Amino acid sequence: MEQQKKISTLHIAVMHDTRRQLKSGNYPFKLRITLNRKRYYFKTALEATEELYIRAYGKKKRADAKELFEQIESIRNTAINICNTLPIFTQEAFERAFFKEATVSDENDVFSVFRCVIAEFEADGHIGNANVYKTTMRSIAAFVNGKLKEHSESNRSGKKQPEIKPPKLPFEEITVKWLKQYEKALSAVQVAPSTQGIYFRVLRRIVNIERKKNQSLPYPFGKDDFTPPTATKNKRALSVTDVRAIRNYEAQSEPEQRAKDLWVFSYLCNGMNVADIIKLHYKEIKFHSNGCTIEFSRQKTQQKKDKTKILIELDIEPTGLIKSIIERHGNKTREGYVFPYLNDKDTPRTQYAAKLSLLRLLNKALRKIGENLNLEIDLSTYVARHSFATVMQRNGVSVAEISEALGHAELKTTENYLGGFSNESKRLNSNKLL
């Protein structure tokens, strides 16, 4: 009864704020709480078009409208639950709980900092980063709870992960001994070294965030302390002969044709990854008499202040292939995105889901192509990136500019590997790729 009384004194609504349009073309949602005729407003990470919002509350909901409806209701229900648990409602107390920020008792809690960082990523639209941090947090929570085996088995089965309620984990417990125990436990449940490396690098950033507030906090990731595991170097690069075989491959279906073409497009364009391909704009490609120029900013650097641009110079032969691929699969309007997989009005979460869906379809078809060509490695979109780097290296391009670690954690290497060469050199080198 007491709980019901609390709810009745409140009015909670999720408002679609159409006064200010975002760069994405969407409008943001705000949470409004009215208590004793006083209104409080709180930002959310949610955004949508007016049309999608209207459809979300229609009788027949498509998948995108249904997803938005569920997200709105989730925000509202979360707010109701928080208000029912707060002894006294204040704007500050609610805000800390709503955004899962650290309270006074949680200031030294690893998982509280995780939640803050995840909330920031989601608010900024960096859904991929948010998901990486969520995955890492779930793994650590499972380890702390003694349920890492069950967690890993659930991961491998593809089942939806259950909600984890991690206990409090003080930063002082993250010692070299603790890190080694966690690494041993991950290896015991057959988590790949590359995945382990991701987990530990994310945790290291969380520790670094806390150390900015508490310099006296012990640091277990020093040079002589704990070093995150690195992936085993598996062969991921193809020879020029194999690349030519892919280029000349007679596709047996539309999915194979699309996968083959986008793989070739990626390979010719500096190993451009799928996230960048689907966000490439027509205005970023300039065709000229000697070939074409493509200049774009990597999606990985969008949250950085210094968005490094990558400049691609292609000679006449690779440009011909690029043109034919765009003509086959590109947007016919010749405006906006080159390829028709995203919409500027989609939410960041929807765009991220579209990217993952496309990746799954491409890699499924690429594996089939690789089997038909009897390639020694499993063909995937990522192989295009490694193949580009390796072929360029074998043709005399300096290791200092394009390293074998292309696509690894050293982001500046992946962004600047052609930086020491003139545009003319880049253009002429592009013919060595085929």
* Number of neighbours of residue 331 by Cβ within 10 angstroms: 14
**C-alpha–C-alpha distance, residues 39 and 130, integer Å:** 30
* Structural Rg of the chain based on CA atoms: 25
pTM attached to this predicted model: 0.61
Q: Are residues 248 and 209 in the same domain?
A: no
Average pLDDT over residues 108-128: 79
Helix (H) or strand (E) holding 13: strand 10-16
Query: Which of 348, 333, 319 lies closest to 434, judged by CA?
Result: 319
Phi and psi at residue 417, to the nearest 5°: -65, -15
Q: Which residues pair with 1 in a beta bridge?
A: none
Q: Are residues 324 and 400 in the same domain?
A: yes
The angle at the Cα of 131, spanning 168 to 12, to the nearest 5 degrees, equals: 75
Q: Are residues 259 and 357 in the same domain?
A: yes
Task: Match 């073309």 to its residue by tokens.
Answer: 25
Of the residues 98, 124, 152, which one is the last residue of a structural domain? 98
What tokens were used for 242?
């194999």
Q: Are residues 177 and 317 in the same domain?
A: no
Structural contact between residues 111 and 166, judged by C-beta atoms closer than 8 angstroms: yes
Q: Are residues 277 and 341 in the same domain?
A: yes
Q: Are residues 372 and 417 in the same domain?
A: yes
Structural contact between residues 297 and 309, judged by C-beta atoms closer than 8 angstroms: yes
Structural contact between residues 236 and 382, judged by C-beta atoms closer than 8 angstroms: yes
Position 25: which residue type? G
Q: Are residues 218 and 254 in the same domain?
A: no
Q: CATH number of the domain that 78 lies in?
A: 3.30.1520
**C-alpha–C-alpha distance, residues 284 and 103, integer Å:** 46
pLDDT for 104 beyond 90: no
Q: Mean of the per-residue pLDDT values for the chain? A: 80
Render pLDDT for 127-181 as a digit per residue (tens, 0 to 9).
Answer: 888 888 988 998 999 999 888 888 887 776 655 555 556 678 899 999 999 999 9
Structural contact between residues 319 and 431, judged by C-beta atoms closer than 8 angstroms: no
Q: What is the pLDDT of residue 278?
A: 92
- HSE, CB side, 13 Å, CA atoms: give it for residue 151: 20
Task: Match 């070299």 to its residue by tokens.
Answer: 176
Query: Which of 316, 330, 231 lies closest to 278, judged by CA?
Result: 330
Q: CATH number of the domain that 298 lies in?
A: 1.10.443.10
Kindly give, in sequence order, each residue whose CB lies less than 8 Å from that of residue 70, ignoring residues fewer than 6 positions away. none
Q: Are residues 10 and 121 in the same domain?
A: no
Supply the range of the domain harboring residue 292.
240-433
Which of 94-103, 135-144, 262-271 shows the lowest per-residue confidence on average (mean pLDDT)?
A: 94-103
The angle at the Cα of 275, spanning 232 to 230, to the nearest 5 degrees, equals: 15
Q: Are residues 401 and 260 in the same domain?
A: yes
Q: Are residues 202 and 349 in the same domain?
A: no
pLDDT for 102 beyond 70: no
Helix (H) or strand (E) holding 209: helix 193-213
Task: Match 């995945």 to its residue by tokens.
Answer: 195
Q: What is the pLDDT of residue 85?
A: 80
Three-state SS for 115? helix
Of the residues 199, 232, 265, which one is the last residue of a structural domain? 232
Q: Are residues 139 and 12 in the same domain?
A: no
Of the residues 205, 232, 259, which one is the last residue of a structural domain? 232
Instruction: Quote the number of domains for the chain.
Output: 3
Q: Are residues 277 and 359 in the same domain?
A: yes
Backbone torsion region of residue 257, taken as left when φ is above 0, otherwise alpha when ψ lies between -120 and 50, otherwise beta: alpha
List, in sequence order, every beta strand (DSSP E) within 21-162. 27-35, 38-48
Average pLDDT over residues 348-363: 88
Which of 115-129, 173-187, 376-390 shows the lowest per-residue confidence on average (mean pLDDT)?
A: 115-129
